[in-house]
């Protein structure tokens, strides 16, 4: 079996030995990401996560890669923001038999919450979490699809620490290094499955 049939067969059943032997080449994670120039404005390259999600191999590779990045971390719970943090955080929590904590926009959670306001490019936003979601001393892994300036992630960290939790680390699918979010979060471990040098 050679050519496209071998590629399909190996991708369907994920035989890493075939890839290492050089018989076939598995797609890299970044090859599943669709890049759209000049969106939402001229000069910006938009990295589209939907093209990863709508491909079964891409989605599996994304979750597996993110999980592998934090395999040495010890944590008690996984937390993620709506909406795309839910997509990647939940399967990681499921795989590792950890609870998953929702971080949501203001007014979306039904029980007593704690909240943090943070600055956007134009105006402010608020993130909330249930007050009983995290117990003091619990170690938390934050999972999201993207880190850009780091403002949203910083707000989530403050939210978790307000409840006495300790942020063990942050893992994201994509990092836009040109926006310097890593510098903003220099006191915390940050892992990214894909890092783009630009904005």
Q: Which are the catalytic amino acids?
A: 84, 121
Write out the two tokens for 85: 């943090």
Distance CA 190, CA 47 (A): 19
Distance CA 174, CA 146 (A): 5
- Name the strand (E) or helix (H) holding 167: strand 166-176
Residue with tokens 């067969």: 9
Write out the two tokens for 31: 């090859």
H helices of the chain, where?
3-13, 16-21, 50-53, 56-69, 84-95, 151-162, 181-184
């Amino acid at each position: 079996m050679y050519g496209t049939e071998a590629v399909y067969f190996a991708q369907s059943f994920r035989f890493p030995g075939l890839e290492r032997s050089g018989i076939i080449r598995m797609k890299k994670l970044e090859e599943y990401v669709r890049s759209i120039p000049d969106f939402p404005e001229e000069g910006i390259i938009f990295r589209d996560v939907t093209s990863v999600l709508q491909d079964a191999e891409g989605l599996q590779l994304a979750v597996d890669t993110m999980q592998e990045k934090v395999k040495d971390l010890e944590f008690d719970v996984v937390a993620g923001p709506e909406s795309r943090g839910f997509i990647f955080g939940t399967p990681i929590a499921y795989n590792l038999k950890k609870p998953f904590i929702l971080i949501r926009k203001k007014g979306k959670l039904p029980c007593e919450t704690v909240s943090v306001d943070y600055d956007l490019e134009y105006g402010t936003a608020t993130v909330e979490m249930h007050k009983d979601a995290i117990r003091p001393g619990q170690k938390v892994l934050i999972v999201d699809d993207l880190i850009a300036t780091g403002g949203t992630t910083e707000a989530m960290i403050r939210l978790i620490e307000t409840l006495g939790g300790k942020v063990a680390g942050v893992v994201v699918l994509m990092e836009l290094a040109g926006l310097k979010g890593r510098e903003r979060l220099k006191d915390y471990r940050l892992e990214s499955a894909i890092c783009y040098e630009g904005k």
